[in-house]
Amino acid sequence: MISEKMQKLVAGSSVTRAMFEEGNRLAKIYGRENVYDFSLGNPNVPAPEAIKKAVIDIVTNEDPVKLHGYMNNSGYEEVREAVANSINERFGMNYGANNIVMTVGAAGGLNVIMKVLLNPGDEVITFAPFFGEYRNYVSNYDGELVVVSPNTKDFQPKLDEFETKITAKTKAVIVNSPNNPTGVIYSEETFKKLAEILVKKEKEFGTSIYLVTDEPYRELAYGGLSVPYVPKYYHNTIVGYSYSKSLSLPGERIGYLVIPSDIDDYDLVFQAAGVATRVMGFVNAPSLQQMFVARCLNESTDLSYYERNRNTLYEGLLEIGYEAQKPEGAFYLFLKTPVEDDVKFSEMAKKYNILVVPGTAFGCKGYVRIAYCVAYETIVNSLPKFKELMEEIKKG
Amino acid sequence: MISEKMQKLVAGSSVTRAMFEEGNRLAKIYGRENVYDFSLGNPNVPAPEAIKKAVIDIVTNEDPVKLHGYMNNSGYEEVREAVANSINERFGMNYGANNIVMTVGAAGGLNVIMKVLLNPGDEVITFAPFFGEYRNYVSNYDGELVVVSPNTKDFQPKLDEFETKITAKTKAVIVNSPNNPTGVIYSEETFKKLAEILVKKEKEFGTSIYLVTDEPYRELAYGGLSVPYVPKYYHNTIVGYSYSKSLSLPGERIGYLVIPSDIDDYDLVFQAAGVATRVMGFVNAPSLQQMFVARCLNESTDLSYYERNRNTLYEGLLEIGYEAQKPEGAFYLFLKTPVEDDVKFSEMAKKYNILVVPGTAFGCKGYVRIAYCVAYETIVNSLPKFKELMEEIKKG
């Protein structure tokens, strides 16, 4: 009796989430320490101490009627202003409160902007491998996700193929850098070329094509690598940000959209984002979270923790004989599976209590995603198991 | 360049919200104390002190990785269990964690359940006057809202007309008691008859018709009146609850859905509610809010505050010569406008710095909604202004 759309969604329910549940099941049987659960991007680094202090200070000193009350659907004006100022300082932009919409995480923000932009049948392009939920965020509004095939050489987007896939119906492009699931940072060159192509195609078709950049992993870049700030390269850019990973707050559902004043139809898009926030039932990003992130804009997570995990995992796997792209950011490693079928490989891995997500879930078969935002011991203890798995495979 | 649906929504953007912004504008000019802003259901009673204590205790003592982390999309199991137990104690039900989905307020919950149930073209019936957002919550999923005309005698639903409006396409019915905007509590008799009709029609059409009961005002009933617990009367009932009003937390976005085990296709509906929560971008109800409401399930707001407001406002208005339904619950008074056109009346009221929402926004012309969840002084000081307004009208 549920809707046809939901029947399909339930049937093919998120592989990642199913793994998460499987991990909990195995942990009950074998003990948490004997399960190598790399399935979910749930940070193991605690939120900065400053969050706790901010929360206590806010509930102690703020007027509860204001703190817990309704505000503009886009968020508290002073919070949006603080967020804008912080972006301006870091990236040399010139945003104000009216360029920021506080959202229920990046997932909430992406849904808001898709709701704002898409008519049924509109096309949204993304680059494989990609976060599988994009398919839902687009189909929620009857749009069609168009996927550019993966470039398994270095996992930068295939821009030639991209150009051929842009049509008069292309309403938006979603990019995600540092990338889930590869950990690759899209280069400045990539964004320059991407922008060139978009400008050309906008002219050719007489349309506006919005570049939506999903940035939950912006702050997670290793070895001093910098992550290009996309609105600098292309005028019609909308940023979806989340504090889930940068401050280890994924359950708290807090993020924001940047809607720059120089995008086409700025006024309408900005106003519609507030209205969409309301009618979709978010109403507003949770008020306490808005207030406490505004006080922690200069806080950061413990990058060295993830970097150690990355190095130990990457080097350990290579030593065993696996092949992988070295992650530059985020907390995912995209492993080439030594057997062709990535679903089969992830099933084989389960026998060693290793949980990884098949690349097919990200539109890229022959790989699995390993989320290394786990305890360091999990990495260390999993390596002998990865080795046993490799030995089993070699034996055939 | 925004979607056609959003263009319409932006153009006809929420009258209530526009009023809220107008109130802020007038307050800047005349001072907050000289504006009688009855436009929005934003509680003026502070949240119970226990909320503050719970928040401080949680951030001080809970493991931050668990507290701020992802959990099941339906919410923490122990929170859902605590909520279920609390309902069981109060209403003699027999729910468990698997009957509860924690949601981003009732608005989030209603969107989730509409997403779960509706195929394009499915019909959802509601009773005027009704919370205008229902129109959006249904059209978000391409359903059609079918409105039963208002019964202005006592504002109980018109069940005869209801019966004639049920078709093979009727997928759900939304009720809201205590009601926004009338403050009326639907009687036990109403629910018994409603259930009878639904059972009969389900048989006639061979369909399942879900009764969705929107209950943000459940705890706000005056003079010892009780609010019937709807699942007791009809098997296919789904409850959408919110702590926004009962604990004065509207900005915090926390509520829940009750999905009883004896509804048709319970397994699918419950599972789909979790999946819908994820794909719509809520992902989960904010984690800190889940934890603190679970510790405050026996807390309540200061009912006597709203009851005094109600009495002073209702009696004051009647004395001046206005007509109104006496509110039994919620914090709204539905005033019959002394001029036929309620939009005109609300415009006239603005000249006296009185902000009220026209009944047409709720599908019931000739009335305005007065949200009396304001400071007591606002009520007292507004009455002379209401009197001047009445005198102006009488003069013609």
**Interface check A214 vs B, CB under 8 A:** no
Query: How do residues A306-353 score in pLDDT, each as one tens digit?
Result: 999 999 999 999 999 999 999 999 999 999 999 999 999 999 999 999
pLDDT digits (tens, 9 = 90+) for A228-277: 999 999 999 999 999 999 999 999 999 999 999 999 999 999 999 999 99
Q: Provide Rg for chain B, Cα atoms.
A: 21
Residue A15 has pLDDT above 70, yes or no: no
Instruction: Please name the residues in contact with A170: beta carbons below 8 A apart, sequence gap of 6 or more.
Output: A122, A123, A124, A125, A146, A201, A205, A207, A209
* Alpha-carbon separation of residue B123 from A163, A329, B120, B141, B171 (angstroms): 42, 48, 9, 11, 6
What is the model's pLDDT at position B23? 84
Residues of B in contact with A10 (CB under 8 A): 268, 271-272, 275
- B13, A275: Cβ pair inside 8 Å? yes
- Take residue A227 and report the two structure tokens written for it: 């992550």
Q: Name the E strands within chain B.
A: 36-37, 100-103, 123-127, 144-148, 170-175, 210-215, 237-242, 255-258, 323-324, 332-336, 354-355, 357-358, 367-371
Percentage of chain A lying above the pLDDT 90 cut: 93
Q: What is the ipTM of this complex?
A: 0.96
Chain-chain contact of A208 with B107 (C-beta, under 8 angstroms): no
Identify which of B13, B251, B283 has the shortest CB distance to residue A287: B251
At B16 the pLDDT is 63
pLDDT computed for residue B111 by the predictor? 98
Task: Determine the residue among A65, A103, A212 to mutate to test chain B binding: the one whose Cβ has the most chain B Cβ atoms within 10 Å.
Answer: A65
Q: What does the pLDDT read at residue B13?
A: 76
Residue A295: predicted pLDDT: 98
Ranges of chain B whose pLDDT falls below 50? none
Residue B1 confidence (pLDDT): 85
pTM score of the predicted model? 0.97
State the virtual CA torsion across B169, B175, B180, B181 in degrees, nearest 10.
60
Q: Which of residues 234-253 of A touch B (CB under 8 A)?
A: 248-253
pLDDT for position A11: 84
Tens digits of residue pLDDT in A98-155: 999 999 999 999 999 999 999 999 999 999 999 999 999 999 999 999 999 999 999 9
Collapse the DSSP code of B339 into the 3-class scheme (helix H, G, I; strand E, B; otherwise coil) and give the result. Answer: coil
Which of A3, A71, A122, A207 would you mutate first to test chain B, the one with the most B CBs within 10 A?
A: A3
Q: Is residue A105 less than 8 Å (CB to CB) from chain B?
A: yes
Chain A residue numbers with beta carbons less than 8 Å from the beta carbon of B281 are 104-105, 107-112, 137, 282
The residues in B 71-100 lying below 8 A from A, measured between CB atoms, are 71-73
Query: Quick check: B11 contacting A, CB < 8 Å?
Result: no
pLDDT of residue B126: 98
